Structure 1
Amino acid sequence: MQVLYQRCAAIDVGKDEIAIALRTPGDGPQGRTTIKRTYKTFYGVLKEAARWLTGQGVTHVAMEATGIYSMPVYHAMIEHGRFEQVLVCNPGHVKNVPGRKTDYADAEWLAQLLECGLLNASFIPTAQVKAARDVLRYRTKVVQQRTSEIQRLGAVLQDAGIKLDSVASSIATVSGRRMIEALIDGERRGAMLAELSLGKMRAKIPDLSMALEGRFDDHHALMCRLHLEHLDLLDEMIAKLDAQVEEMMVPFRVTRELLTSIPGVGPMAAAQIIGEIGVSPHEFFATAAKLAAWSGLAPGNHESAGKRKSGRRRHGNQHLQPVLVEAAWAAVRHTGYLRSLYHRHVMKNGGYRSGVAKKKAIVTVAHAMIVIIWHVLATGRPYHELGEDYFTTRKDPEKEAEKLIAKLEALGHKVTLEPAAA
C-alpha cells in the first residue's frame, strides 16, 4: 500500500509503560525502518517521549483508546510535541494480527496502518468540555447512588412491615421523611404517624394509619437513620455539583439555549449533551447520520448476499444514550412532530399493547433528536416545530385513498366514492 506519512509513530499504551514504534524511510522491507522504544507513564517521562518524537521529525502519532490510561499520553503529545495530528483510535478498528500479541507488535501494526492513512481518529472534546463532562458524569453516578439508597431505605421499611410506599407515591417526600423520623424517634402508633402527612397526602390518612403499623424496632431505626444521613450527604453533593455545572456552562450559554429549544431537552439534559458531543459536533461528524451512529442510536446495517442479517444498534456512547432516551420520553408528552413520530412507530412495531413496540418507538424518537441536535448546532438556529400533522400533510390524498379502498375491498366490501359536499 502507498505510504502517505513518511515519518509517523504509534504508541501502545499500558498502565505503567508505553511502547513506541517509529516508522521512517530506511533499508528495511518496502524501504521502511521501525525504531522501537519504551517509556514509563510518569508525565515527566511522557513529555520526554513527545520531545524525542518531535526531534525525529514525526508528523503523525496514533494510539489506541484505553480509557483513562490513554489520556495523559494524548495530552503529553498535544502539549509537548509538534505534530500535525495526534489520533486516538477505536481499538475495535485496529485489531492486531493474530499470533503476534506483544506491546511492540501492537505499536508496529498501528504504525503501519497510520503511515498508509488507514486510521480514523476518535472524538476528543476540548479541555473545557472534557472538564464539564467529568463533573456531569459524576453527578449522574451520585444521582444513581441516591436512587439506590432510597430503595435500600424502602427495603428496611418493608422488612419492618411498614407499607408507606404502598400508599404514598414515594417515600422520599417531605411527608415521608417526617413519618420515618418519627418512627426512628420511637413513635409506633399508625394514627399519630399518619397525622404528620402534608398536602394532598392527608386525603390518605385512613390508609396511612394502617400502612404505618408494623414491627419497627431499634435495629430498623438504626438502619433508617444511617440511610437518611447518607441521603442528606448525597443531596448536598448533588447541590454542589449542580452549582459547579451552572458555572461551567457559562461559556456555553448560547449553545445551551439552542438545545433547550428542542422539546424534551431541559437545562441539565442540554448540559449533559454539551459534555458528550461538545458545541460543534458538525466539525468532527460530517453528517447527522455519523453522529447518530457514533451515539449508538442509529439502526445497524448488516447485509450479505442481498439479505439483511441484523438491524441491531452498536453500543455507541453509553453516557449520551440514556440522556436522549429520557429526553425523548419527555418530548412525546408534548404535542408536536416528535409525539407524532412516536405514535407512528408504536403502531408500526406492534401497537400500544406491546412494551417492545414502545421501547423501539422511543429509541426512534431519540435518534430523531440527535439528528435535530446536529442540525441545530450546525446552523445555529433554534428548533423549528414541524407540527403534529407533519406525516398526514405529506401524504398524497389520491394514493392514500387508493390504499384505504384496497384494504376495504380485501375485507370483502364494495367501495364507492362520492365527493364531499362543499
Structure 2
Amino acid sequence: MELAALYKRVIGLDVHQAQITACALIEEADGTTRMEQRQFGAFKRDRRALASWAAALGPDCVVMESTGIYWKSPYAALEAVGLHAQVVNARHVKNVPGRKTDIGDAQWLATLARAGLLRGSFIPPAPLRELRLIARQRQVLVGQLASEKNRLHKVLTDSGIRLGVVVSDLHGQSARAMVKALIAGQPPHEVIRFASARLKAPRAEIFEALQGDLTASHGFVLQELMHHIEEIEARIARFDARLLAGLADAQSALALLQTVPGVDLIGAAMLLVEIGTDMTAFGNADRLASWVGVCPGNNESAGKRKSGHVRKGNPYVRRLLCEFAHAASRTRSVFKTKFQALTVRRGHKRAIIAIAHKLLRTIFFMLKRGEHYRDSATDYEALSVQRNAPRWIKALTKYGFIAPVSV
C-alpha cells in the first residue's frame, strides 16, 4: 500500500551512540521522489556536518528516534541551525518486519514522517533542558540521602541504641544533636540534655533508648555516615539555589503551583522544568497525562476491557506527582476525600496514582488559564469570614455602625 505524502522534503535519523544514519526523501518538481542516504559519526564535527547537510536540504520535517540520551546532542545541533526535529518513540515505528538495519530504520522513519503518521514527543526549550539536568540530579541526591539516613538508623540499631523508637524523625534538630553527641563519645546522661522539650516521649524513656553498646567501629561508621549526610544536604541546598535562580522568570507560575495542596516551592520548580509553562505544547490534559504515564492504560479487544496498567512515561514527573499525592491526601481538600474513597475500593497504590492523575489535570488547567487553585470542597467565603470577622466587628464598632456590646 502506497502512503499518501503530506510533506515533500523529509529527513529520518536513526541515532546511535557512535553513528547517525540519515535518509532524506525529496520530491522533485516533476513529481518523482529522490532518496539520499548519509552516515555521520557522533562527534561534534560530525554533528555539525549533519546539521549543515540537513539545513542545505531545507526539509519540511525532521524526525529521529528517542534512543536513550543519544538523541540530545544531534537535536541541539539541528536546533542551532534552525531545524526543530521531532523526537518519536521507537516503539511506535519498530513493529514492522524486515526493517532491522540502520539504513532501513532511517528510511522507514522518513517514509512515515512524509505521510504525517508520526507525532513528536514534547521537547522543552533549551533553557529548561539545561535546568532538567539540575532537577534530575537533585532527585538522585535525594535518593542517596534517604539511603544514607536509613543506613545510619541501622547502624544505631545494631549498636543497641533505640533512639528511633522514641523520636518520630531521627534526623530532626534535637535527634541529630543527640546522635552527634553519641558519636563524640558522650555518655547518655549528658546526651539527653540535647533532647528538645517538644519531644513527647518522657525523659526516662529517652534515656533508656540512648543506652547501647557503641563500639569504636560503630562510632567510625556513624561518623562517616553523618559527614556524608551533611555533605549531601549541603549539595542539595546548592542545587536548589541554582534551580530557583534559573527559574527567576517563572515566578508567577511557581506561585501559581504552590496554591495546589501538597506542592511546595522546590516541587513546583522541579515540575516546571519537566513540563514547562506552555500547555499548548501538549494540546489537552489527556495527552499530558499519557506523556507522564499516570492515566489508565487503553487495552480493549472484542468489547472486553483488558489490562489497565499505566504505561511507561516520564518517571521524573511521575515520582514528583506521587509525592504531591501523598502530601495532598493528608490535607483538608477534595484530594483527601477522593483518596479515602479510592483506598477502600482499589488499594493504596492505585489511589495514589489516581490522585496524581487528578493533580496533573488540575495543574494543566491552572497553567493554561493562569488561575490559582480553588478547592471545590472548601468554602472560601466562610473561611474569609472566620478569619476577618473579629477585625470587621471591631472596625464597625469603632465607627459607629454597630452599637458596642455591653458586658
For the structure 1 residues 195 and 324, does the alpha-carbon distance in structure 2 shift closer, same or farther, using more than 3 Å as the test? same
8 A contact 2:47–2:74 mirrored in 1: yes
TM-score by length of 2: 0.86
The reply to whether residue 65 of structure 1 matches residue 59 of structure 2 is no
1:395 match: none
After superposition, the C-alpha distances for 1:241-289 in whole angstroms (9 at most, x for unaligned) are: 12112211211011111212222222122112211110012x1211111
* Superposed displacement of residue 31, structure 1: 4.6
1:54 match: 55
Q: 1:20 aligns with which of 19, 22, 26?
A: 22
- The residue type equivalent to 2:244 in the other structure is E
Q: 1:382 aligns with which of 360, 372, 380?
A: 372
1:38 match: 39
- The residue type equivalent to 1:263 in the other structure is P
For the structure 1 residues 304 and 50, does the alpha-carbon distance in structure 2 shift closer, same or farther, using more than 3 Å as the test? same
C-alpha distance in structure 1 between counterparts of 2:56 and 2:194, whole Å: 74
C-alpha distance in structure 1 between counterparts of 2:61 and 2:375, whole Å: 44
C-alpha distance in structure 1 between counterparts of 2:366 and 2:123, whole Å: 21
* Superposed displacement of residue 202, structure 1: 7.7
After superposition, the C-alpha distances for 1:300-327 in whole angstroms (9 at most, x for unaligned) are: 1211111111221112111111211221
8 A contact 1:338–1:365 mirrored in 2: yes
After superposition, the C-alpha distances for 1:177-236 in whole angstroms (9 at most, x for unaligned) are: 33322333333x433333332232384321222222222111111111111111121111
For the structure 1 residues 206 and 312, does the alpha-carbon distance in structure 2 shift closer, same or farther, using more than 3 Å as the test? same
2:363 match: 373
SS in 2 for 1:18: strand
Aligned ranges for residues 23-422 of structure 1 at < 5 Å? 23-25=25-27, 31-80=32-81, 82-83=82-83, 85-95=84-94, 97-187=96-186, 189-201=187-199, 203-281=201-279, 283-347=280-344, 349=345, 357-387=347-377
8 A contact 2:99–2:108 mirrored in 1: no
- The residue type equivalent to 2:365 in the other structure is H
SS in 2 for 1:68: coil
8 A contact 1:63–1:110 mirrored in 2: yes
* Superposed displacement of residue 388, structure 1: 5.6
Among the aligned pairs, what percent are the same residue? 34
2:390 match: none
- The residue type equivalent to 2:68 in the other structure is G
- The residue type equivalent to 1:303 in the other structure is E
C-alpha distance in structure 1 between counterparts of 2:308 and 2:25, whole Å: 40
C-alpha distance in structure 2 between counterparts of 1:300 and 1:152, whole Å: 37
- The residue type equivalent to 1:191 in the other structure is H
C-alpha distance in structure 2 between counterparts of 1:6 and 1:206, whole Å: 82
- The residue type equivalent to 1:55 in the other structure is A
1:7 match: 9
C-alpha distance in structure 2 between counterparts of 1:246 and 1:133, whole Å: 12
* Count of matched residue pairs: 375
8 A contact 2:297–2:311 mirrored in 1: yes
8 A contact 1:302–1:309 mirrored in 2: yes
For structure 1, the residue ranges without an aligned partner over 5 or more in a row are 350-355, 390-422
After superposition, the C-alpha distances for 1:141-169 in whole angstroms (9 at most, x for unaligned) are: 11111111111111211221221112222
C-alpha distance in structure 1 between counterparts of 2:335 and 2:152, whole Å: 37
* Superposed displacement of residue 329, structure 1: 2.3
8 A contact 1:300–1:312 mirrored in 2: yes
* Superposed displacement of residue 56, structure 1: 2.6
* Superposed displacement of residue 126, structure 1: 0.9
8 A contact 1:259–1:373 mirrored in 2: yes
- When the two chains are superposed, the root-mean-square deviation of aligned CA atoms in Å is 2.0
TM-score by length of 1: 0.84
For structure 2, the residue ranges without an aligned partner over 5 or more in a row are 380-407
C-alpha distance in structure 2 between counterparts of 1:315 and 1:61, whole Å: 25
8 A contact 1:339–1:388 mirrored in 2: no
SS in 2 for 1:112: helix
